[in-house]
C-alpha cells in the first residue's frame, strides 16, 4: 500500500517493451487514453495475456499471469500463481493522457507470502507510486493508488515477486481523474513523558540517542494523539503534562489530537468511570464538569500557542461515558454530555475538529446503531474515529465495510483512532504481553518489524480507499510505550508492567523500528 517508503526493485521490463505500442495490437488506437478490459471479461478464462494488457516475467514465467473464473463483480479475474517461485508483471500502457492527477482503483485478494505483491503507476513523469496488496484470502478488498501524470502517459502495473504457491487475484480496475492520500499519519505518544522521567531512552535506527518526537517526525509522522485524564494517581496524562508535551509536538511541526477520557484512568468499552472529583454530581452538574474540563485544557493549550487541531470527546464510548449517567441506556443524557464537550471545544477554537471514537471497526452493525442513535438525539460532531485491532476486531474487509458505510451514511470523514501490531511476541518486562502467541496474530502478518509494517500499510490502504476522500488517516497506538520500570499500565501502581512493549515502534534495544516507514505513506 505504500509507495516511496521503501526501496523496491527497479523496473523489470525493458523500456522499449514498456513503451512499445506494437505489443498491443489493433485495440491500442482506441484504448490509448482509457483503461481497456479492467474487469478481465473480454477473453474468458485461461488467457495469459488478457486483451489490452501485456505480460512480462523476469523468470520466463508469463504463464504465472492468467485470467480465470471467479471475478469480483463479473465472471472473470486476473490471477498470479505458479507452483514454483516466480516474478511476473501484468501491465497496460496508456498514452495521450491529459496531464494531471489520476487514481487507480482495484479490487484485490492475496494469500500472502510474496516478497512483494503490489499495484504500481509508473513511467508517468513523476515518482512511481505503489500500493501493496493486503493479505486477504477470502474477501475482496478495494485499494487505490494515485499519481500526477506530467508526460501524457502512464503504465498501470500488477506485480508479483512470489514464492512457490503464492497467489493474488485482481479485478475491476478503473483509472480516472482524482488523487488519494492520507492527511493523518499519526501515533499516540501519551506514555512518553513518564517513560523519559523513569529513564526511558529512544534511539534512531542506527543507535544514536535522540528525542522520540523528533525521531518519529523524521520518519514522516505528522500528528500526535495525547490522552487526558482528570486527576490521575501518578500525575501523568493530566493537564500540566499535556501542555508540556504539546509544546514539543507543535515545535516539531506536527498537529495535535487531544483525547479526553473524562476519567482519572483508562476509559474504554468495558469501563467509563467518573473522575473521583465528579463522583457525587448530578447529571446537570456533570454536563458542566465536561464543559469546564474540556474548555480548561483546550484553552490552556491555545493560550500557550499550541491549539488542538482535533479533539476526541470520550474514548471508545461504545457504551457511553461517565457511567451510569452517560450510559447508552440513556441516550438523551449521553447526548447532552457529548454536546457539552463539543460546545467547549468549539468555544475555544471553532477550527478544532471534534471526533467521536468507538472501538471495533469490524462491527458495522454496532457502529451504525451507535451513530444512528447519535443522529436521533442530535449529537454534534465533525469526525468519526474507530479503533481497529485486527487480532480482536475482525478482518480487513470487515473494517473496510464499516469505514465505507459510516463515511457515506453520515457524510463525515473517518479515521482509525487506534491500531497496532507486534514486532515480536516475547516480553521485555515481567508482565505477559497482550498479544504473545502466534495463534493470536492476523493470518499473513508475522510478528516481525516487516509484519508490523505490512499491517500498518494494509490499514492505511483501506482508509485511503474510503470513497469521496473521506478517509483521513491512522493513529498508531502506542508508539513510545517501551518497557521502562515505573512506567506500567496502572497509574496507581508503580510496579505494574507493560503488556504492550512488543507493539511499540521502538525495539527492545530502544532503536526506531523499520516499521516506522508507514508514516511515509502518500
* From 41, 325, 418, 464, active-site residue: 418
Residue bearing cell 495490437: 25
The three cell numbers locating residue 194: 513518564
The three cell numbers locating residue 408: 457515506
Is 418 catalytic? The answer is: yes
Q: Coil, strand, or helix at residue 499?
A: coil
**Residue 222 Rama label (left phi>0; alpha psi -120 to 50; beta):** alpha
Q: Are strands 129-132 and 116-122 parallel, antiparallel or unpaired?
A: antiparallel
What residue ranges in 200-291 does DSSP mark as E strands?
A: 202-203, 209-210, 223-228, 255-260
Residue bearing cell 458542566: 288
Separation of alpha carbons 435 and 148, rounded Å: 41
* From 41, 89, 128, 316, active-site residue: 316
> Could you tell me if 510 and 202 are in contact, meaning their C-beta atoms sit under 8 angstroms apart?
yes
With the CA atoms of 108, 111, 115 and 119 taken in that order, what torsion angle do they form, in degrees rounded to the nearest 10? 0
Q: Which phi and psi (to 5°) does residue 211 adopt?
A: -85, 125
User: How far from 350 is each of 184, 300, 308, 342, CA to CA, in Å?
Assistant: 20, 15, 11, 10
Tell me, what DSSP letter sits at residue 505? S
Is 316 catalytic? The answer is: yes
Positions marked catalytic: 316, 418
Amino acid at each position: 500500500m505504500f509507495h516511496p517508503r521503501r526501496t523496491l526493485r527497479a523496473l523489470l521490463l525493458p523500456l522499449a517493451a514498456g513503451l512499445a505500442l506494437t505489443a498491443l495490437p489493433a485495440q491500442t488506437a482506441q484504448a490509448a487514453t482509457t483503461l481497456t478490459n479492467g474487469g478481465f471479461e473480454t477473453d474468458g478464462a485461461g488467457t495469459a495475456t488478457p486483451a489490452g494488457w501485456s505480460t512480462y516475467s523476469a523468470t520466463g514465467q508469463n504463464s504465472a499471469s492468467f485470467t480465470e473464473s471467479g471475478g469480483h463483480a463479473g465472471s472473470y479475474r486476473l490471477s498470479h500463481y505458479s507452483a514454483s517461485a516466480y516474478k511476473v508483471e501484468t501491465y497496460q500502457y496508456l498514452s495521450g493522457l491529459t496531464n494531471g492527477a489520476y487514481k487507480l482503483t482495484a479490487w484485490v485478494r492475496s494469500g500472502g507470502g510474496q516478497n512483494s505483491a503490489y499495484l504500481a503507476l509508473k513511467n508517468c513523469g513523476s515518482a512511481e507510486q505503489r500500493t501493496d496488496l493486503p493479505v486477504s484470502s477470502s474477501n475482496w478488498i478495494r485499494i487505490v493508488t494515485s499519481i500526477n501524470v506530467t508526460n501524457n502517459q502512464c503504465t498501470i502495473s500488477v506485480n508479483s515477486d512470489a514464492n512457490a504457491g503464492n497467489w493474488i487475484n485482481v479485478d475491476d480496475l478503473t483509472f480516472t481523474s482524482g488523487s488519494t492520500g492520507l492527511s493523518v499519519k499519526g501515533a499516540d505518544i501519551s506514555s512518553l513523558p513518564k517513560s523519559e522521567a523513569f529513564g526511558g531512552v529512544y534511539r534512531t535506527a542506527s543507535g544514536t540517542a535522540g528525542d522520540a518526537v523528533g525521531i518519529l517526525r523524521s520518519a514522516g509522522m505528522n500528528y500526535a494523539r495525547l490522552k487526558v485524564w482528570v486527576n490521575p494517581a501518578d500525575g501523568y496524562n493530566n493537564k500540566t503534562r499535556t501542555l508540556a508535551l504539546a509544546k514539543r509536538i507543535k515545535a516539531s511541526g506536527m498537529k495535535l489530537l487531544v483525547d479526553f477520557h473524562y476519567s482519572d484512568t483508562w476509559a474504554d468499552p468495558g469501563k467509563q468511570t467518573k473522575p473521583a472529583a465528579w463522583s457525587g454530581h448530578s447529571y446537570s452538574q456533570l454536563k458542566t464538569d465536561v464543559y469546564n474540563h474540556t474548555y480548561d485544557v483546550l484553552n490552556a493549550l491555545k493560550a500557550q500557542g499550541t491549539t488542538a487541531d482535533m479533539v476526541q470527546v470520550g474514548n471508545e464510548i461504545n457504551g457511553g461515558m461517565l457511567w451510569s449517567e452517560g450510559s447508552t441506556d440513556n441516550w438523551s443524557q449521553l447526548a447532552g454530555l457529548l454536546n457539552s464537550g463539543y460546545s467547549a471545544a468549539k468555544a475555544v477554537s471553532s477550527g478544532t475538529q471534534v471526533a467521536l471514537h468507538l472501538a471495533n471497526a469490524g462491527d458495522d452493525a454496532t457502529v451504525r446503531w451507535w451513530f444512528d442513535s447519535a443522529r436521533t438525539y442530535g449529537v454534534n460532531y465533525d469526525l468519526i474515529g474507530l479503533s481497529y485491532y485486527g487480532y480482536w476486531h475482525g478482518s480487513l474487509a470487515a473494517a473496510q465495510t464499516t469505514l465505507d458505510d459510516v463515511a457515506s451514511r453520515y457524510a463525515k470523514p473517518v479515521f482509525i483512532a487506534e491500531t497496532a501490531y507486534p514486532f515480536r511476541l516475547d516480553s521485555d518486562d515481567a508482565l505477559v504481553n497482550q498479544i504473545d502467541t502466534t495463534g493470536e496474530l492476523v493470518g499473513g502478518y508475522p510478528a516481525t518489524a516487516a509484519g508490523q509494517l505490512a499491517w500498518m500499510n494494509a490499514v492505511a490502504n483501506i482508509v485511503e480507499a474510503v470513497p469521496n476522500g473521506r478517509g483521513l488517516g491512522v493513529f498508531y497506538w502506542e508508539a513510545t510505550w517501551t518497557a521502562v520500570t515505573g512506567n506500567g499500565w496502572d497509574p496507581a501502581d508503580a510496579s505494574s508492567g507493560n503488556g504492550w512493549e512488543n507493539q511499540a515502534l521502538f525495539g527492545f534495544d530502544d532503536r526506531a523500528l523499520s516499521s516506522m516507514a508507514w508514516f511515509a505513506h502518500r
